[in-house]
Amino acid sequence: MSGHKYDPRHAVFLDSEERKERQRPEDIFSILKAEKEDVVLDLGAGIGFLTFPLAEIVRDGKVYAVDVQEEMVKKLEQRRSEKSFDNVDVLLSSECKIPLPDREVDKVYMINVLHEIDDHSTLEETHRVMKKGAELLVVDWDKEKVTEHGPPTHVRLSLEEAVKSLEQKDFRVEDTGKYEDHFWLLAEKVD
Ligand X SMILES: C[S@@+](CC[C@H](N)C(=O)[O-])C[C@H]1O[C@@H](n2cnc3c(N)ncnc32)[C@H](O)[C@@H]1O
| Interacting residue ranges for ligand X, rule: CB under 6 A | 5-6, 14, 43-46, 49-50, 66-69, 72, 93, 95, 111-113, 116-117, 122
Is the four-CA dihedral 48, 153, 68, 43 of positive or negative sign?
A: positive
Minimum gap (Å) between residue 72 Cβ and ligand X: 4
Q: Residue 120: count other Cβ atoms within 10 Å of its Cβ.
A: 13
Q: Name residue 117's beta-bridge partners.
A: none
Backbone angles phi, psi at 55, to 5 degrees: -60, -30
Provide φ and ψ at 24, rounded to 5°.
Answer: -90, 135
Q: How far is the CB of 32 from ligand X (least distance, A)?
A: 14
User: For residues 60 and 185, which CB has a smaller minimum distance to ligand X in the complex?
Assistant: 185
Q: Output 72 or 186, the one with its CB closest to ligand X.
A: 72
CB of 133 to ligand X, least distance (A): 23
In terms of CB distance, is 72 or 163 closer to ligand X?
72
How far is it, in rounded angstroms, from Cα 1 to Cα 155? 7
State which residue, 39 or 123, has the beta carbon closest to ligand X.
123
